[in-house]
């Protein structure tokens, strides 16, 4: 019981502390690749502190949804983060839900963000919401199928079981091809869901291209801080999912302090590696036209579907 409480507190702290660092790291990598020095990787922390201190300005046309959304978004994303094994293969909330709950907790945050985008009645917000709705509805099938393919290879929809089995090489290694297909699909889905470059550009405020930024244009002060923090958290949750499901080695499988230390170090290395990779990928590709996003997400869907088919065919 005490163990479980300690675990919840530790994982919450780790997730909340690492999320801004990942955002800063990606920005730094992109800046270096553009031959700029770039801000420090700890700049997002300073931004969050500054925003949290400022007084929010709220449009008089908004309803309660607008002020409730940042809290709902932040809480649901954090809850989703607590369903994913981070540095230990046990998850704090594994009694409460599995990988499907994770998908819908993230979708709940997206849903409220879309409502909030519409709520203020500005044209940009509505445009961002409608674009986000397109992207979210297209990512959903790919995400569900890829997650099912991974769950099937491990024989469980519980993430801690999947990661535990993979880390100890039980059951999951019998056929890598479904796993590879599901992994590729999951990477594409993660890029689309977290609004990274080929789908959305997090560094722009140009009305032609923005999706996520358009929805949060009306936010300021502590609300903006929460929304930004939640966006970083969502990115971190996806990176954690990818890192720990496909390569969970090094993760702690028991509560020994030494194992926890190694698990934490391995986790930071893996997530930072993925963040650097995202920074490089974002520098290599241009943003897709909105109507070309279907091509990319169609590919994710087909790959995830093939992952499922491979599983059934290879297992006969």
Partner 1 sequence: MITPPIGSQLVDLGSALLLLTCFGIVAQRRLSACVDLFALQSVFLALTATLVAFLTGIHHIYIAAALTVLIKAIVIPRILKKVIERLNVKRELVMNINVPASLLICGALVMVAFLITQPIIPFGHLLTRDSLAIALAIVLIGFFTMIARQKAVTQMIAFLVMENGLFLGATAATYGMPLIVELGVFFDVLVAALIAGIYTNRLQDAFDSVDTAHLSELKE
d(CA 284, CA 124): 28
* Binding track over 204-243 against partner 1, x by CB under 8 A: ----------------------------------------
Which residue has tokens 């970083």?
232
Q: Which of 179, 221, 220, 213 is nearest to 194 (CA)?
A: 213
Residue of 17, 63, 314, 315 interacting with partner 1 (CB under 8 A): 314
Q: At how many degrees (to 10) do helices 123-154 and 99-119 cross?
A: 180
Residue of 7, 93, 233, 306 interacting with partner 1 (CB under 8 A): 306
- Residue 155 within binding range of partner 1, rule CB under 8 A: no
- Residue 168 within binding range of partner 1, rule CB under 8 A: no
d(CA 67, CA 58): 8
Dump the DSSP string for 93-142: TTTT--HHHHHHHHHHHHHHHHHHHHHT--HHHHHHHHHHHHHHHHHHHH
| Contact present, 123 and 38 (Cβ < 8 Å) | no
**Piece of the chain touching partner 1 by CB under 8 A; list 21-29, 191-199, 210-218, 304-312:** 304-312
The residue (of 126 and 171) whose beta carbon lies closer to partner 1 is: 171
- Residue 247 within binding range of partner 1, rule CB under 8 A: no
The residue (of 52 and 313) whose beta carbon lies closer to partner 1 is: 313
- Residue 299 within binding range of partner 1, rule CB under 8 A: yes
The residue (of 87 and 310) whose beta carbon lies closer to partner 1 is: 310
Spatial neighbors of 144 by CB under 8 A, at least 6 apart, are 100, 103, 304
- Residue 180 within binding range of partner 1, rule CB under 8 A: yes
In the complex, which residues of this chain contact partner 1 (CB under 8 A)?
Answer: 173-177, 180-181, 184, 294-296, 298-299, 302-303, 305-306, 309-310, 313-314
């Amino acid at each position: 019981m005490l163990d479980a409480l300690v675990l919840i507190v530790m994982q919450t702290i780790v997730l909340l502390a690492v999320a801004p660092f990942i955002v800063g790291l990606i920005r730094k990598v992109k800046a270096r690749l553009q031959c700029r020095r770039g801000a420090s990787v700890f700049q997002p922390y300073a931004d969050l502190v500054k925003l949290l201190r400022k007084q929010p300005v709220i449009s008089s046309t908004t309803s309660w949804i607008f002020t409730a959304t940042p809290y709902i978004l932040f809480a649901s994303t954090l809850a989703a983060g607590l369903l994913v094994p981070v540095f230990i293969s046990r998850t704090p909330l594994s009694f409460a839900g599995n990988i499907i709950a994770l998908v819908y907790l993230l979708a709940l945050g997206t849903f409220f963000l879309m409502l909030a985008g519409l709520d203020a009645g500005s044209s940009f917000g509505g445009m961002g919401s409608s674009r986000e709705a397109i992207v979210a509805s297209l990512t959903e099938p790919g995400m569900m199928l890829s997650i099912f393919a991974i769950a099937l290879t491990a024989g469980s929809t519980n993430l801690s079981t999947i990661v535990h089995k993979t880390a100890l090489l039980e059951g999951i290694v019998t056929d890598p091809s479904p796993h590879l297909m599901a992994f590729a699909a999951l990477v594409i889905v993660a890029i689309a869901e977290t609004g990274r470059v080929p789908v959305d550009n997090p560094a722009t405020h140009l009305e032609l291209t923005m999706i996520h930024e358009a929805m949060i244009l009306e936010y300021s002060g502590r609300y903006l801080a929460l929304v930004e923090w939640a966006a970083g958290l969502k990115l971190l949750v996806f990176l954690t999912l990818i890192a720990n499901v496909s390569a969970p080695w090094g993760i702690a499988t028991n509560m020994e302090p030494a194992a926890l230390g190694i698990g934490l170090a391995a986790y930071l290395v893996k997530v930072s590696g993925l963040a650097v990779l995202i920074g490089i990928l974002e520098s290599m590709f241009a943003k897709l036209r909105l109507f070309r996003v279907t091509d990319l997400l169609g590919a994710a869907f087909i790959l995830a579907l093939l992952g499922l088919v491979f599983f059934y065919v290879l297992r006969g």
